[in-house]
């Protein structure tokens, strides 16, 4: 699945030269996809790109993928344009970069503006820095396991979108800071209403669930969806491509796309540079705060999804 996900990391151009031979509903879209991969000679692990994969397996997956994603133009077109093999760097090189990324994030989390933060915005940035460290460590420890790495990549993609959105302004951060309590209250309310839980008044031992429900409801807020956040902070392309593709292994929707056992290690290897790139982009947001918000162009460039 790692290879499957990474060969969708493509560059959208302005011309339509790759649409010949596509179904009519796809020809209407002026899309030309190109791989973001550099040649093997020009790949530098210190500026790891979001996409590095061996795409020759596309040849045997193309029929299934074309059928499965017939309604999604972007994904279908890629089965035609991207059919080239790219030499991966060694696992040791990617792991060295991963370790450097993790250490850099730890150092940023220890900066006074984050370590001793009192306002919502820097406290939330510190929170996401620490999460990135944990998922970076998880990737390091599961480096030869394709599905866990895919899941870590998807989580980091989700976190990057959320972090980018809340780092745009103090008001966005304040809105986001209300979501954890809101989610807990909603969970408690639903379970009480369904009879799975109850609130007990300690001194008397009486069931106080009914009286407590209005209080729970008052603490619930309608937060923005991850798609809304992505659209508002200019990362809709990241959401529409990487987030969606990354959701397949998270929700166990890759059973007929999995590689033979012997290919899983290669699939895992192809996900490591993507994880490195997400860690790099998260660090970039932390570096720019509090002087300015990181632009979506800067984030996409850090991920290798935008030309320099």
The domains of the chain are located at 2-37+48-81, 179-220
Q: Residue 60 pLDDT more than 90? A: no
pLDDT of residue 11 exceeding 50, the answer is: no
Predicted pLDDT of residue 171: 96
pLDDT of residue 262: 62
pLDDT score recorded for residue 82:
36
| Distance set, CA 118 to CA 85, 123, 128, 180, 283 (Å) | 49, 7, 15, 17, 20
pLDDT reading at 84 higher than 90: no
Q: Is there a contact between 289 and 125 (Cβ–Cβ < 8 Å)?
A: yes
Which residues, other chains included, contact 301 with Cβ-Cβ below 8 Å and sequence gap of 6+? 308
Q: Which pLDDT tens digit goes with each residue over 236-290?
A: 999 999 999 899 999 998 887 766 666 777 778 889 999 999 999 999 999 999 9
DSSP state of 85: B
Asked if the model's pLDDT at residue 31 lies above 50, the reply is no
SS (H, E, C) 41-57: CCCCHHHCCCCCCEHHH
Q: Which of 39-43, 51-55, 98-102 has the highest mean pLDDT?
A: 98-102
Tokens at residue 58, please? Answer: 């596309």
Q: Crossing angle of helices 146-166/264-288, nearest 10°?
A: 20
């Amino acid at each position: 699945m790692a290879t499957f996900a990474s060969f969708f990391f493509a560059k959208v151009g302005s011309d339509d030269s790759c649409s010949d031979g596509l179904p009519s509903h796809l020809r209407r879209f002026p899309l030309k996809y190109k791989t973001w991969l550099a040649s093997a000679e020009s790949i530098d692990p210190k500026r790891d790109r979001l996409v590095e994969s061996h795409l020759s397996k596309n040849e045997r997956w193309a029929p299934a993928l074309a059928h499965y994603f017939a309604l999604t133009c972007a994904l279908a077109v890629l089965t035609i344009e991207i059919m080239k093999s790219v030499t991966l760097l060694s696992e040791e090189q990617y792991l060295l970069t991963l370790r450097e990324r993790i250490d850099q994030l730890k150092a940023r989390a220890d900066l006074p503006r984050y370590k001793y933060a009192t306002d919502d915005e820097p406290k939330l940035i510190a929170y996401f820095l620490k999460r990135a460290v944990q998922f970076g460590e998880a990737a390091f420890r599961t480096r030869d396991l394709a599905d866990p790495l895919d899941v870590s990549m998807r989580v980091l993609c989700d976190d990057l979108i959320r972090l980018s959105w809340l780092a745009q302004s103090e008001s966005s951060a304040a809105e986001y800071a209300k979501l954890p309590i809101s989610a807990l209250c909603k969970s408690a309310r639903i379970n009480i209403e369904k009879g799975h839980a109850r609130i007990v008044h300690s001194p008397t031992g009486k069931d106080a669930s009914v009286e407590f429900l209005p209080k729970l409801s008052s603490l619930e807020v309608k937060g923005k969806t991850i798609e809304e956040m992505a659209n508002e902070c200019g990362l809709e392309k990241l959401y529409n491509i990487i987030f969606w593709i990354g959701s397949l292994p998270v929700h166990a929707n890759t059973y007929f796309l999995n590689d033979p056992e012997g290919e899983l290690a290669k699939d895992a290897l192809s996900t490591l540079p993507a994880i490195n790139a997400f860690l790099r982009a998260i660090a970039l947001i932390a570096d720019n705060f509090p002087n300015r918000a990181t632009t979506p162009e800067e984030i996409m460039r850090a991920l290798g999804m935008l030309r320099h």
